[in-house]
Amino acid sequence: MIARYTAARTSLRTALIMLVFTLLFTAAMAFTYGLTRPAIEASELAEKMRLINEVLPPGSYDNALLEDVLRLGPTPELGLAQGGALYRARKAGEPAALVLEAEAPDGYAGRIKLVLAVTADGRVSGVRVTSHKETPGLGDYIDPKKDRNKERPWITQFTGAGHDRVDAAAWKVRRDGGVFDAPTGATISARAVTNATGRALGWALARRDALFAAAPGSTLDTGKE
């Protein structure tokens, strides 16, 4: 009996058992994946729409916004090193607004990701921060959920602003000679968001017609312009 338990036999046996366990639990994971897939896709979509609804009033367009998408290549003006997505809102077939992603590379603690909507008449309809690492309690007022000013969160001052009201050269925080407020002692976060918003607005306005005209689902090569 002892002779049967050679080294080769033992390793084969343990390897087989390991294999059985791996197959068993991979199957369990695959089953859970299939079970949760529809719900995960639905909640990711809902999360995206919730965010877009914050920057663009749902009544201002009537197309299937998320399907009218343009893929962007790496776009330095928007701070998108890896590229991103741009959604086009239309009302009765006419251009209504552009919803775009942007990044501020110069936050106090790393990059600040933004989503903003620019209406067809050239105004910012809203800006929201989607992810940031600013200091809790100090720089995180850029997220309206953390802003102490609940009636008029800091980031809402961009709503309605356009180059017809705010000159491109004045699109800065007050401390840099611009028109936008920034809380004392935490100007860096405000400056990063303000400048990134201004850059994104300028970028979108400069090629507004081309952005609305491009075929849905196509990829815009923005790097070589």
**Residue 110 CB, nearest approach to other proteins (Å):** 15
CB of 134 to other proteins, least distance (A): 12
Taking the least distance from each CB to other proteins, the nearer of 150 and 224 is 150
Q: What is the CA radius of gyration of the chain?
A: 24
Q: Return the DSSP state at 76.
A: G
Among candidates 51, 191, 180, which has minimal Cα distance to 115?
51
* In the complex, minimum distance from the CB of residue 142 to other proteins, in angstroms, rounded to a whole number: 16
Nearer to other proteins, 131 or 219 (CB): 131
Nearer to other proteins, 21 or 218 (CB): 21
Cβ distance to other proteins smaller for residue 21 or 165: 21
Which residues of the chain form contacts with other proteins (CB under 8 A)?
13-14, 17-18, 21-22, 25-26, 28-29, 32-33, 36-37, 39-40, 43-44, 46-47, 135-138, 148
Half-sphere exposure of 166 (CA within 13 A, CB side): 25
Shortest Cβ 157–other proteins spacing (Å): 20
Instruction: Return the HEC string of 123-165.
Output: EEEEEEEEECCCCCCCCHHHCCCCCCCCCCCHHHHHCCCECCC
Neighbour tally for 158: CB within 10 Å: 23
